[in-house]
Amino acid sequence: MTDNASDTPKAGKGQGQAMWGGRFSAKPAELMQAINVSIGFDKRLWAQDLAGSRAHARMLISQGVIASSDGEEILEGLAKIEDEIATGTFPFRDEYEDIHMNIEARLRELIGPTAGRLHTARSRNDQVAVDFRLWVRDAADRTVGQLEALQKALLAQAEAHADALMPGFTHLQPAQPVTFGHHLMAYVEMFGRDASRFRDARARMNECPLGAAALAGSPFPIDRHATAAALGFDRPTANSLDSVSARDFALEALSAASITATHLSRLAEEIVLWTTPMFGFIKLTDAFTTGSSIMPQKKNPDAAELIRAKVGRILGSLTTLTVVMKGLPLAYSKDMQEDKVPTFEAFDALELSLLAMAGMVADLTPNTENMAKAAGAGFSTATDLADWLVRTLNMPFRDAHHVTGSAVKTAEGLGVDLADLTLEQFQAIEPRITQDVYAVLTPAASAASRMSYGGTAPAQVRAQIARWKELLA
């Protein structure tokens, strides 16, 4: 026990030994600081905080709320602070609680009492609201860029393998042959929708809460349109209470992040499956695999597994912030300080996942021979046989399905593929079947025949690749 603690009343114990000991001297004030302090994480908002302060200071000058000379001093002080933070000499201090008060306290040390004029017509409530909105907006923009980089990596592989056959699955059972390019392009579509979700969220969040002050607005002749424009917002928010209370912009961004993470986890899972010797569809280089400390033969797709797992953290962040916001009365409550850690954590995880996935996609090499072989397994052209019966013999599809089922049963009984059945064997099931049927029973013919818009025919796949290349150019 420290001297300091021994001559201070103990919190709630009265037995001379604080139960939490050591770390705390048990003064309520210290515990208050421990639960209250946020500088450890909200220092990440420093650039946004400086941008907001600059816009606010310039507006105060041009509106005549503060003298130009004072405003200039403030702006010079802020420039100095930016320099200190960039060079790592800025003193971040717990005693000043958060990033807003740390910067203001430092400004006072640098320029004296004039620093106090910066907070005219402003509260930490609208200050943190604008800082956090700017941060989430930046994160959304960054994510769109990372999604597009991943799409480009997928496009390059899809283009190189637009007609490489592989099995298409439903229920993870061989269904119909597709091409590797087509399969990868499915993810290009998903990540394209993810990017558009972030763009939509950005458009909705792009209103500036600065100037709402504590909650009710300001009696000073401020120009909220000017600060909104200076910070790249489309307009100021229209209700001061909502301005300082709203965190749905972060919830929306975290929702978009969670959906993106589920898409990443699906591709990650496929990479995990495809790299197993049982599938043997793709190979990753040493750059994206790890070895085992005991089993010398192993090459594990750890990056894919970790990406598959990150959705837990990211969706967890959405849950965290949703529960923090639920039931909060208007306007600002300190609960909302808990918005930052989950949001930072989610976007850190998402960024790493997107970058690693793009790297892994560029790194992978498909084993086209294995994939093509697998594409023909499991009677994957059975639907093509049924379609042939419909087209050539004008059979109702349900009957064709039944005939094909009998053919599959016969082939299965003989331990051969459909294409290995003799014409006599086919005709024993349906006498009108002719030699022509064999043309539709290869996986290549099956894939090439699916020329419907968005289908797996290499020509269709190439058309979609061309469309996306243009969209991403």
Task: Return the number of the residue (331 or 372) whose C-beta is nearest ligand ARG.
Answer: 331
We find the least distance from the C-beta atom of residue 41 to ligand ARG, in angstroms, to be 9
Task: Return the number of the residue (251 or 418) whose C-beta is nearest ligand ARG.
Answer: 251
We find the least distance from the C-beta atom of residue 81 to ligand ARG, in angstroms, to be 18
Instruction: Name the segment binding ligand ARG (CB under 6 A); options: 77-85, 120-128, 185-193, 205-213.
Output: 120-128
Catalytic residue (one of 25, 171, 183, 449)? 171
Kindly tell me which residue out of 49, 73, 98, 430 binds ligand ARG, with binding defined by CB under 6 A. 98
How many residues are given for the chain?
Answer: 473
We find the least distance from the C-beta atom of residue 250 to ligand ARG, in angstroms, to be 12
Number of residues that bind ligand ARG (CB under 6 A): 10
> How far, in Å, CA of 349 to CA of 368, rounded?
32
Integer Rg of the chain from CA: 31
Question: Are the CB atoms for 421 and 436 separated by under 8 Å?
Answer: no
We find the least distance from the C-beta atom of residue 129 to ligand ARG, in angstroms, to be 8
For residues 324 to 353, the per-residue mask of contacts with ligand ARG, x marking binding by CB under 6 A and - elsewhere, is: --------x-x-xx----------------
Q: How far apart, in Å, do the first and last CA atoms of the chain sit?
A: 65
| Contacts (CB under 6 A) with ligand ARG, residues 55-74 | none
- What 3-state class would DSSP assign to 175? strand
Q: Is 380 in the site for ligand ARG (CB under 6 A)?
A: no
Instruction: Name the segment binding ligand ARG (CB under 6 A); options: 122-130, 164-172, 234-242, 453-461.
Output: 122-130
Q: Is 128 in the site for ligand ARG (CB under 6 A)?
A: yes
> How far, in Å, CA of 388 to CA of 406, rounded?
15
Question: Are the CB atoms for 405 and 214 separated by under 8 Å?
Answer: no
Catalytic residue (one of 69, 196, 292, 406)? 292
Task: Return the number of the residue (104 or 417) whose C-beta is nearest ligand ARG.
Answer: 104
Q: Is 38 in the site for ligand ARG (CB under 6 A)?
A: yes
Instruction: Catalogue the E-assigned strands of 294-415.
Output: 365-366
Q: Provide the pairing of β-strand 235-236 with 282-283.
A: unpaired
The residues, any chain, with a CB within 8 Å of residue 12's CB and separated by 6 or more, are none
We find the least distance from the C-beta atom of residue 40 to ligand ARG, in angstroms, to be 11
Q: Is 125 in the site for ligand ARG (CB under 6 A)?
A: yes
Q: Is 182 in the site for ligand ARG (CB under 6 A)?
A: no
Q: Which structure tokens are listed for 50?
A: 């400086």
We find the least distance from the C-beta atom of residue 127 to ligand ARG, in angstroms, to be 7
> How far, in Å, CA of 53 to CA of 106, rounded?
14
Q: Which structure tokens are listed for 208?
A: 């500036």
Closest CA to 244 of 131, 323, 164: 131
Task: Return the number of the residue (332 or 468) whose C-beta is nearest ligand ARG.
Answer: 332
Which residues does residue 177 pair with via DSSP β-bridges, in sequence order? 167
C-alpha separations of 405 from 175, 268, 422, 445 in Å:
14, 35, 16, 20
Task: Return the number of the residue (305 or 345) whose C-beta is nearest ligand ARG.
Answer: 345
Which residues does residue 417 pair with via DSSP β-bridges, in sequence order? none
CA 110, 111, 114, 117 dihedral sign is negative
Q: Is 388 in the site for ligand ARG (CB under 6 A)?
A: no
Closest CA to 183 of 149, 152, 158, 153: 158
Query: With the CA atoms of 121, 126, 131 and 137 taken in that order, what torsion angle do they form, in degrees rounded to the nearest 10?
Result: -120
Closest CA to 439 of 413, 459, 463, 418: 418
Task: Return the number of the residue (128 or 318) whose C-beta is nearest ligand ARG.
Answer: 128
Does the annotation mark 171 as catalytic?
Answer: yes
Where helices occur in 65-217 by DSSP H, the ranges are: 68-87, 99-111, 124-160, 180-205
Instruction: Name the segment binding ligand ARG (CB under 6 A); options: 123-131, 231-239, 439-447, 458-466.
Output: 123-131
Question: Are the CB atoms for 55 and 230 separated by under 8 Å?
Answer: yes
Task: Return the number of the residue (324 or 440) whose C-beta is nearest ligand ARG.
Answer: 324
Task: Return the number of the residue (114 or 127) whose C-beta is nearest ligand ARG.
Answer: 127
We find the least distance from the C-beta atom of residue 288 to ligand ARG, in angstroms, to be 38
We find the least distance from the C-beta atom of residue 212 to ligand ARG, in angstroms, to be 12
Kindly tell me which residue out of 122, 124, 182, 247 binds ligand ARG, with binding defined by CB under 6 A. 124
The residues that are catalytic are 171, 292
Residues that bind ligand ARG in the complex, under the rule CB under 6 A: 38, 42, 98, 124-125, 128, 332, 334, 336-337
